[in-house]
Structure 1
Amino acid sequence: MTRLWNILGESFHVLAPVAMVAIGIGGFMVFGQRPETPPREINHNVVAAVESAGVEQADGSFTIELDGVALSYRQVTHAAQVAGEVVEKVEQCRSGHYVSEGQYLLQIDPTNFQLEVERLQVQIEQADANLKEADIEIENAESLIELAKEDLELQKENLNRVKQLMTRGASTDTQLDAARKQELTARNSLRTLQNQLAAVKQRKITLESSRKLSETQLKRAKVDLDRTKVTAPIAGTLITVSVEEGDYVKAGDPLFRTNDSSTMEVSCQLRVEELYWVWLQAGNMKLTDNTPSDLDLFGSQLELPNVPVEVAFDFRGVEYLWDGVLSRYDGTGLDPATRTVPCRVRVDEPTKVRVGGNGVAGRVAPPTLFSGMYVKVRIPVASPVPMLKVPLPAIRPNDEVWVVQDGTLHVMTVDVARFEGNSVLLIAKPAGLQAGDRVITSPLAAVEEGMSVEDLGQPEDESEVTVLDADGLSDRTPVDQSSEVETETAADSTEVQP
């Protein structure tokens, strides 16, 4: 008996989970399926009353507004050009101060450089004295050479006379040898003086080269001496200052970093369709049947068109404006994170600020476009292609509009250019939507090409007509809204009275 109960218990543990799973599957098959909804049929016997608006011809001009942040056009790190101790640092040489170009900021110990300048100046003076001495030697050598030449001529004449006397037997061999020896000695003396002159001239050339080298070294020493006096390389705001008075610096050590304030940039990001309009108005693209996202924006030219823009900074309801230009891409293409094109706007005159609006805040304008300001970038666009304007409710999914023509609804696909508030700009095409057409702005539950509709005109038009409810099936008569409000108000007043 005990064994039987054990077998039954084990069977229960095995069959119970299987039974629970089977019950769950059966319940899902019965209760978990969504009931099928029969397709809604359109009642062709009922004319749907719709509200519509006219398609207007747009002038094709609009403004692209972007968020941006002002940045420095460049930041210059000034390093020490000579080694030495910082013996002086002016109070203006602190981070956050504005400095002018060439303004004195630091002084590195100039003692060694001043001594080097003085040494080279003395060396040049010594070279000048040596050159003067060489000139004197050259002058003396040239004079001695002239005398040696005259002596040689005399000895040659004497030798010739001795030879003539020798032929007549009036002279001896001893006298002839003596004459030859004197002529040879005179010739040797002349050659020695000529060699000495050549040596002095060569020494003068060497002295002149040495003097030029000393002059070059003196120029370098003076430059190094001037470099001990550190000035601001550009006009701007000091961002960081890395040294203090008493610090020893080596050549190449950074001293301070300056933010160039003569030109500023604004970092912003353009969507591809916005960049499309910038390229289109600049003439770098031709309008085709392709959508902006299908166009190759980087194929033909890589430079961003220099389009004038307006930079605006809002403070307490007052706008401060600067003129800028869309200058360059901030990278090589789309940002993989945001799928936008990073761009830079250059503001060449950040101190020329215009104030827009009224109020007390408008009386005081910022002196310049500061780095880090969150600004708006407005790019004016003048479309080179004709455009149309329709109300925002007229645009349906898949960029479709419902056009009313002779009491009949027609579904038409349009090319949306841009959303502007409660309006939408469309690219006009010869075979598409035209100015003066009527587009439906009211909702319809079911739409069929060619269905009959009754155009009620603008929403302000109110008349006793038969319209359809939201389900598109039942009839109702519109009631004056003002009457409804008055009725509800009266009812409420009646209810609150005791």
Structure 2
Amino acid sequence: MKLTRSRSFMIGAAILAVGVGGLALLVWLRPEPPKEDRPRVSPLVTTAVATIHEGPVYVRGTGPIKPTQEVTLVAEASGKVVGIAPSFVSGGYFQRGDVLVQVDPADYENAVAVAEAEVTQRRFELLRAREEADVAKEEWERMRSRTAGEAPPHSELGSLVLKEPQLRLAEALLKGAEARLSDARNRLERTRIVAPFSGRVRTESVDVGQFVGPGQQVGVVYSSGLVEIAVPLNTSDAALIEGLWNPSGVSRIAARVHADFGGTTRTWNGNVHRVEGALDAATRTINVFVRVSNPYRRDSDGAPPLLVGTFVDVEIEARPSDGSVVIPRSALRDGSKVWVVADGRLRVLPVDVLQEVDETVLLRDGLTGGEQVVTNALAVMTDGMSVRVATN
């Protein structure tokens, strides 16, 4: 029995040894797999063509519309309001010289009548004093001719003889009466609150029957013939505007104002009026003021006006840009470089940026136009590396 078990074990071991040897022989005798050389694939890039810029360069900015004139109207006389112009309501139009508010003038008219009566009285007294002075002088002349005396001395006695003090007193009293009449007329005039210019009403705070006193606010009005926008610009953009610092030529710099109203954009033509004389300490920008005439003009198409308070986009015409090149903003690298594809290879070129506007960049130098500039990013980039250009 033991012999049988030993024999079975030896037969199994022999079979296992033959199997392992055969497997090793197969591995050793297997053929070598064919080797393939994979082609090296260059990075894929998207490009845009650099183009020559035509026309003027515009410096762009934003700002709110403000009136050139805006005043708070206040009462200068006390009394009850007896009249208000129909146009003196929020948004109402008025013309220069229109009476917007009328305070009860009765007391002031009476004061004028009293002052006029006093002036009449003082004029009569002056005439009487002149007649008396002439009579006194004639009597003195007759007395002197009879007595062969001398002319009255220039003394208080001589003045009294010729009634000069009485004449000067009458003249002074007349001047005082005329001054009081002028004051009374001025106070009467102040019962009318008159529009200082043509424009529109922003707010009104008075009504008929209300009692007002001197210094009380009755409304706020602004001029509608001219508006302006304070456009903050950095120094690099301001430097592009030719003639900005020339006081005699700044008004000839053209500008365009774009305002959006309900999804529709309208454009008004304007001009640069002035430039502020100092940089803003917080933003390091300088305000350039652009003015637009007739912002409330009524067009036949019923389009909305250029409303005060509207936030607008402003384009100011700058110096000509002959030879400047335009590229997409995505093609600018590190603020002063571009990647250009030439003969299938990537080249890094330095550029001089003139202006960056929205999604475009205007170059002063570095490109001549027609170059293919790379617009996408690459994980690894070296100057001179081979690249593929996307066809779409």
What are structure 1's unaligned runs of at least 5 residues? 1-42, 154-186, 285-299, 355-361, 461-498
Distance in 1 (alpha carbons) for counterparts of 2:122 and 2:286: 66
Aligned AA (2:383): E
Q: Once the 2 structures are TM-superposed, how far is the Cα of residue 135 of structure 1 from its aligned partner?
A: 2.7
Change (3 A) 1:208 1:411: same
**Percent of matched pairs sharing the same residue:** 28
> 1:131 — aligned with what?
126
User: Given that residues 53 and 321 in structure 2 are in contact (C-alpha distance below 8 angstroms), is that contact kept between their aligned partners in structure 1?
Assistant: no
Q: Secondary structure at the match of 1:363?
A: coil
CA deviation map 1:273-310 (0-9, x unaligned): xx5234223156xxxxxxxxxxxxxxx99999553211
> 2:337 — aligned with what?
400
Change (3 A) 1:445 1:102: same
CA deviation map 1:133-172 (0-9, x unaligned): 223322332332233234425xxxxxxxxxxxxxxxxxxx
Distance in 2 (alpha carbons) for counterparts of 1:61 and 1:261: 31
Q: Does 1:446 align with 2:377?
A: no
Aligned AA (1:256): G
Distance in 2 (alpha carbons) for counterparts of 1:264 and 1:122: 49
> 2:240 — aligned with what?
280
Out of 174, 184, 188, the residue aligned to residue 211 of structure 1 is: 174
Q: Does 1:74 align with 2:69?
A: yes
Out of 302, 310, 318, the residue aligned to residue 364 of structure 1 is: 302
Q: Secondary structure at the match of 2:173?
A: helix
> 2:212 — aligned with what?
249
What is the TM-score normalised by the length of structure 1?
0.60
Map residues 151-300 of structure 1 onto 2, 5 A cutoff: 151-153=146-148, 195=158, 198-270=161-233, 272=234, 276-283=236-243
Paired residues, number: 353
Out of 80, 99, 105, the residue aligned to residue 100 of structure 2 is: 105
Q: Once the 2 structures are TM-superposed, how far is the Cα of residue 258 of structure 1 from its aligned partner?
A: 0.9
CA deviation map 1:204-255 (0-9, x unaligned): 1221122122222212211211221222222222223233333333322222
User: Given that residues 230 and 289 in structure 2 are in contact (C-alpha distance below 8 angstroms), is that contact kept between their aligned partners in structure 1?
Assistant: yes
Distance in 2 (alpha carbons) for counterparts of 1:226 and 1:443: 75
Map residues 344-383 of structure 1 onto 2, 5 A cutoff: 344-352=289-297, 363-366=301-304, 368-383=305-320
CA deviation map 1:454-489 (0-9, x unaligned): 675x735xxxxxxxxxxxxxxxxxxxxxxxxxxxxx
Q: Once the 2 structures are TM-superposed, how far is the Cα of residue 352 of structure 1 from its aligned partner?
A: 4.2
What is the TM-score normalised by the length of structure 2?
0.73
Q: Once the 2 structures are TM-superposed, how far is the Cα of residue 76 of structure 1 from its aligned partner?
A: 0.9
Q: Secondary structure at the match of 2:272?
A: strand
Question: Comparing both structures, which one devotes a greater share of its residues to strand?
Answer: 2
> 2:391 — aligned with what?
459
Root-mean-square deviation (CA, aligned residues, Å) is 4.0
> 1:122 — aligned with what?
117
Question: Comparing both structures, which one devotes a greater share of its residues to helix?
Answer: 1
Structure of larger gyration radius: 1
